């Protein structure tokens, strides 16, 4: 298994627990160090600090390559061509991302949106332009889409930790960062220190013939 950009490892441990031979390539130096330490107890865990599009995998090939909300930051030609080259025949490319997630508590949602409007000023704004179905233009076949729906409940601290793993939240800088997270925490505390989220996880799966 090869994971592209594990970040803080939200989608890593369930894969490691299967006992597979796991490799991750992580571009961020600090995220690389964090994740390396987080999963150091797993003998099957391996991670390199590098750019997926330029890293030399020295002829390695994989049964599956997967990405949890990372591959959409890579130019299409690099994302699909490199994945195709690195996969064994019959291997799969799995691409996961969050769809909409929102609390059904409209008053809380409105308060949170006020915080976003005032303080959410990332230097790099999220702009997902990758068209996942274009994978078939690079040799992939059997393209499929799956949607999974769930409900989660957080207290203020846990919710702050959760959104803090999102790529466009990670890059928040001062003077906005502290005010943003404090504002979100205050909004949730004002609504009983509880936020329920109904969210969608989308998985795109395609195969190398």
Peptide linkage before 175 cis (omega within 30 of 0): yes
64-84 pLDDT, tens digit each: 999 998 998 899 999 999 999
Q: What is the pLDDT of residues 158-182, one digit of tens each?
A: 999 888 877 678 778 999 999 999 9
d(C-alpha 64, C-alpha 89), whole Å: 10
Assigned CATH for 61-207: 3.40.50.150
CA nearest to 67, candidates 117, 159, 5: 5
Query: What does the pLDDT look like over 19-59, one tens digit per residue?
Result: 999 999 999 999 999 999 999 999 999 999 999 999 999 99
Whole-number Cα distances in Å, 129 to 66, 70, 75, 76: 18, 12, 9, 9
Sign of the alpha-carbon torsion through 111, 114, 118, 123: positive
| Residue spans per domain, the chain | 61-207
Look at residues 72, 66, 204, 54 and name the one whose alpha carbon lies nearest to residue 136. Answer: 204
Q: Note every long-range contact of 10-15, with CB atoms under 8 Å and residues 24 or more positions apart, other chains counting.
A: 10/68, 10/165, 11/66, 11/68, 11/96, 12/39, 13/39, 15/66
What is the per-residue pLDDT for 126? 57
pLDDT value at residue 125: 64
Q: Tell me the two tokens of residue 149.
A: 């729906």
Contact between 195 and 105 (Cβ < 8 Å): yes
> What does pTM read for this prediction?
0.81
pLDDT digits (tens, 9 = 90+) for 81-111: 999 999 999 999 999 988 777 899 999 999 9
Per-residue pLDDT at 129: 76
Angle at 1 (CA atoms; ends 82, 25), nearest 5 degrees: 60
pLDDT band at 5 (very low <50, low <70, confident <90, very high): very high
């Amino acid at each position: 298994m090869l994971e592209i950009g594990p970040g803080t490892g939200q989608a890593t441990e369930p894969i490691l627990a299967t006992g597979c031979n796991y490799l991750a390539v992580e571009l961020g130096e600090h995220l690389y160090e964090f994740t390396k330490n987080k999963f150091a107890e797993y003998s099957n865990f391996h991670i390199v600090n590098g750019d997926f599009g330029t890293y030399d995998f020295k002829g390695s090939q994989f049964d599956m390559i997967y990405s949890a909300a990372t591959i959409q930051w890579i130019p299409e030609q690099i994302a699909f061509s490199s994945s195709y080259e690195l996969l064994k025949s019959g291997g799969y490319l799995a691409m996961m991302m969050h769809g909409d997630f929102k609390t059904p508590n409209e008053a809380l949602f409105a308060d949170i949106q006020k915080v976003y409007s005032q303080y959410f000023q990332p230097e790099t704004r999220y702009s997902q332009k990758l068209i996942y179905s274009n994978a078939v233009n690079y040799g992939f076949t059997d393209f499929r889409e799956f949607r999974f729906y769930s409900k989660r409940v957080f207290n203020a601290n846990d919710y702050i930790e959760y959104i803090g793993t999102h790529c466009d939240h990670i890059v928040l800088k001062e003077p906005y960062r502290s005010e943003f997270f404090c504002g979100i925490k205050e909004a949730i505390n004002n609504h009983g220190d509880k936020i329920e989220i109904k969210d969608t996880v989308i998985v795109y799966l395609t195969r190398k013939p």
